């Protein structure tokens, strides 16, 4: 096996397993919530999509710290590792309070915004979920920072174990708390179980060899400089993810205009898609870490890493497209979907294959851009794709969920074409960074 491919697989496998446990807990959550009715499923769907948007905020400090720590690790510079860790921690402290407090205060307007005000029951349930989940972002953000530091240090297995812990606890607590408190119980379960994993993660950070050694040396730069470097590194990645997830949230609102049945089907089908898309994001994280590490070591292997990234992620995308097309009816039935919801979900899963294939290459290649300083260029491509996707989805939604899928395919094709052009321009060690400027 190619050395870069082997390293990508080695780094991506634990990341995927950690993401997969999150998907599994989300699926079980949806199964239990679906017993409360279509309004409850719709409420939790939009609430969790909102949390995905807020994950983009966490990437400012988490991914910024990951890339800078990986670069310092490649350069074997403990002082730079200390500076990167400090920068990420201070940014976490600055970002978290506005999100947690502001989210609590604005939970009802936010619920109306994302659901369109068409279903009073769903609005009430979404606001109840937000009342717990948005203040709980403080725990989630801290967990993301811990994971980012460990991944930058080359340890992707510990974040996997922490995810297994958190999501294993969620699988146990969800049925009880949802039974006792309904939709609000699902949010309480998630926050409490993430808190348990955070405590365990902080203990691991204190024992990590690289981070412990870095903690004993003087930082390589002033705190203000560390914060600025983490911000400038992480902000394009955060903005890229936030734009993508915000587009997904608007897409839910567009689907919502079709009716509660379509929203419920879309929510379930999108949960199923996570089995594939999380693999793409795992390869993306692996590519970012590996690219940053090789850069720190003074080598430029971006072309080779990009090629292997496409091979690994593309194989996952093809396998998922075939699997979903053949097993769509059984997948929808596993969620206990009624006949109308199941019919719409099967349509979506059978039309979505081309989108998955295109998305596999584009998402995973983003890691090469992130690890080599080219995230701003990737952000511009994402903005272009979103500008194509949303108006097209609004127009084609008249065809139902297949029309929405067609809009996704067209948007992703535009983005893949743009990134292919950009990659052809990579000629020297600073080419992607120059393109970003």
Residue that is written with structure tokens 């080779």 in the block: 304
Q: For residue 1, what pLDDT is reported?
A: 58
Which of 172-176, 405-409, 431-435 has maximum average pLDDT? 405-409
Per-residue pLDDT tens over the stretch 170-187? 888 888 888 888 888 888
Highest mean pLDDT among 265-279, 368-382, 401-415: 401-415
Which residues are CB-contacts of 234 (< 8 A; sequence separation ≥ 6)? 59, 60, 61, 62, 63, 64, 65, 67, 88, 91
Give Cα 92 to chain centroid, integer Å: 18
Mean pLDDT, rounded, for 237-254: 81
Residues in Cβ contact with 212 at an 8 Å cutoff, skipping those fewer than 6 apart:
206
Do residues 378 and 236 touch, judged by C-beta distance below 8 A?
A: yes
Tokens representing residue 191 in the block = 């926050």
Segment 111-139 shows an average pLDDT of: 80
**Whole-number average pLDDT of the chain:** 84
**DSSP codes joined into one string, 138-176:** HHHHHHHHHHHHHHHTT--HHHHHHHHHHHHHHHHHHHH
- Residue 434: the pLDDT is 44
Residue-wise pLDDT tens digits, 9-29: 888 888 888 877 766 666 677
C-alpha 31, offset from chain centre: 21
Proportion of the chain above pLDDT 90, given as a percent: 26
The confidence score (pLDDT) of residue 430 equals 46
- Among 242, 227, 196, CA closest to 382: 242
**pLDDT tens digit sequence for 358-391:** 999 999 888 888 887 777 888 889 999 999 999 9
Q: Which long-range contacts (CB under 8 A, 24 or more apart) does 420-425 make?
A: 422/374, 422/377, 422/381, 423/306, 423/365
pLDDT at residue number 437 = 45
- Checking if the pLDDT of 427 tops 60, the result is no
Domain boundaries, the chain: 3-436
What single string gives the DSSP state of each residue in 351-364?
H-HHHHHHHHHHHH
Q: Which of 200, 253, 216, 184 is nearest to 44 (CA)?
A: 184
At 214-239, the pLDDT tens digits run 888 888 889 899 999 999 888 888 88
Structure tokens at 184: 């609000």
Model confidence pLDDT, tens digit, residues 284-303: 988 888 888 887 666 667 77
Q: Which ranges constitute the DSSP H helices of 76-156?
A: 78-105, 107-115, 120-133, 137-152
Q: Is the pLDDT of residue 141 over 70?
A: yes
């Amino acid at each position: 096996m190619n050395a870069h491919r082997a390293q990508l697989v080695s780094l991506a496998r634990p990341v995927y397993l950690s993401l997969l446990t999150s998907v599994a807990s989300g699926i079980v959550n949806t199964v239990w919530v679906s017993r409360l009715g279509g309004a409850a499923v719709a409420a939790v769907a939009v609430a969790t999509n909102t949390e995905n948007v807020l994950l983009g905020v966490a990437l400012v400090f988490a991914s910024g710290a990951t890339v800078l720590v990986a670069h310092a690790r490649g350069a074997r510079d403990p002082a730079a590792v200390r500076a990167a860790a400090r920068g990420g921690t201070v940014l976490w402290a600055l970002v978290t309070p506005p999100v947690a407090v502001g989210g609590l205060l604005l939970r009802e307007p936010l619920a109306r915004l994302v659901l369109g005000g068409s279903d009073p029951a769903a609005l009430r349930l979404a606001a109840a979920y937000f009342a717990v989940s948005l203040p709980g972002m403080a725990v989630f953000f801290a967990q993301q920072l811990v994971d980012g530091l460990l991944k930058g240090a080359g340890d992707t297995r510990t974040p996997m174990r922490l995810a297994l812990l958190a999501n294993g606890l969620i699988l146990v607590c969800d049925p009880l708390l949802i039974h006792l408190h309904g939709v609000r119980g699902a949010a309480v379960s998630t926050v409490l179980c993430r808190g348990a994993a955070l405590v365990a993660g902080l203990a691991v950070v204190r024992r990590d060899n690289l981070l412990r050694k870095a903690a004993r040396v003087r930082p390589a730069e002033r705190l203000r400089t560390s914060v600025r470097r983490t911000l400038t590194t992480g902000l394009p990645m955060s903005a890229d993810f936030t734009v993508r997830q915000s587009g997904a949230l608007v897409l839910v609102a567009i689907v919502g205009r079709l009716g509660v049945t379509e929203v419920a089907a879309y929510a379930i089908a999108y949960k199923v898609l996570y089995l594939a898309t999380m693999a793409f994001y795992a390869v993306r994280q692996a590519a970012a870490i590996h690219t940053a590490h090789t850069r720190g070591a003074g080598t430029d292997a971006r072309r080779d890493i990009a090629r292997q990234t496409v091979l690994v992620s593309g194989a996952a995308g093809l396998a998922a497209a075939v699997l979903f097309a053949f097993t769509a009816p059984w997948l929808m039935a596993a969620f206990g979907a009624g006949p109308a919801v199941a019919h719409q979900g099967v349509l979506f899963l059978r039309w979505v294959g081309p989108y998955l294939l295109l998305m596999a290459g584009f998402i995973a290649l983003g890691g090469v851009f992130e690890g080599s300083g080219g995230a701003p260029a990737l952000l511009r491509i994402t903005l272009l794709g979103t500008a194509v996707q949303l108006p097209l989805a609004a127009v084609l939604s008249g065809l139902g969920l297949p029309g929405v899928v067609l809009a996704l395919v067209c948007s992703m094709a535009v983005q893949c074409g743009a990134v292919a052009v950009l990659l052809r321009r990579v000629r020297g060690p600073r080419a992607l960074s120059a393109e970003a400027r």
